[in-house]
């Protein structure tokens, strides 16, 4: 299984907004600089996030993006769904006419990979943006104590 850069960057940018955009909207240019993501790539990602109503935009001076709801109410799976990031662990396309072997039969490990997709999906649905922010804060405190 491979998560694309689009999926990683969408989650990263949403965490950035959750962390930096509580009082005022975040510009994509600032997110681009803070997270080292191409501005044009962010624009594409945010079109999808906006369509999915995970973010809302504000135009004009001081404009940018804000989360459309609390960070504790936005699940990572919602972000993946918004940008059409698929959690795919099977080698086949789940085509009932072809399946893994190409002749309508599942391979010996097909059910295992399908179950793994479900476990990963459940995990991504159990984690929200605020969890990632809290986890990052705990890691930073731990690093400061070790220094």
What does the pLDDT read at residue 33?
A: 96
**Coil, strand or helix at 8:** helix
| CATH 1.10.10.10 fits domain 5-146 | yes
**Gap between the Cα atoms of 14 and 7, Å rounded:** 11
CA distance linking residue 57 with residue 67, whole number of Å: 9
SS3 content of the chain, % helix, strand, coil (to 5): 55, 5, 35
> Distance from first CA to last CA of the chain, Å, rounded?
36
Mean pLDDT is highest, among 65-79, 91-105, 129-143, for 65-79
Mean pLDDT, rounded, for 77-83: 96
pLDDT band per the 50, 70, 90 thresholds, residue 86: confident
pLDDT of 28 > 90? The answer is yes
Quick one: pLDDT at residue 55?
97
CA dihedral 29, 30, 33, 37 (to 10 degrees): -60
Q: d(Cα 101, Cα 133) in Å, to the nearest integer?
A: 43
pTM of the predicted model as reported, rounded to 2 decimal places: 0.84
Tokens of 15: 């965490």
91 vs 74: CA distance, rounded Å: 30
Judged against a pLDDT cut of 70, whether residue 137 lies above it is answered with: no
């Amino acid at each position: 299984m491979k998560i694309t850069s689009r999926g990683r960057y969408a989650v990263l940018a949403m965490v950035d907004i959750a962390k930096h955009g509580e009082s005022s909207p975040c510009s994509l240019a600032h997110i681009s600089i803070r997270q080292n993501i191409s501005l044009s790539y962010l624009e594409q990602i945010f079109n999808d996030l906006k369509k999915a109503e995970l973010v809302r935009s504000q135009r004009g001076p001081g404009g940018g993006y804000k989360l459309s709801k609390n960070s504790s109410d936005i699940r990572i799976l919602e972000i993946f769904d918004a940008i059409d990031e698929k959690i795919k662990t099977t080698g086949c396309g789940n085509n009932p006419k072809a399946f893994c072997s190409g002749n309508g039969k599942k391979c010996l490990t097909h059910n295992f990979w399908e179950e793994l997709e479900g476990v990963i999906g459940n995990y991504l649905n159990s984690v929200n943006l605020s969890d990632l922010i809290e986890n990052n804060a705990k890691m930073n405190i731990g690093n400061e104590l070790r220094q």
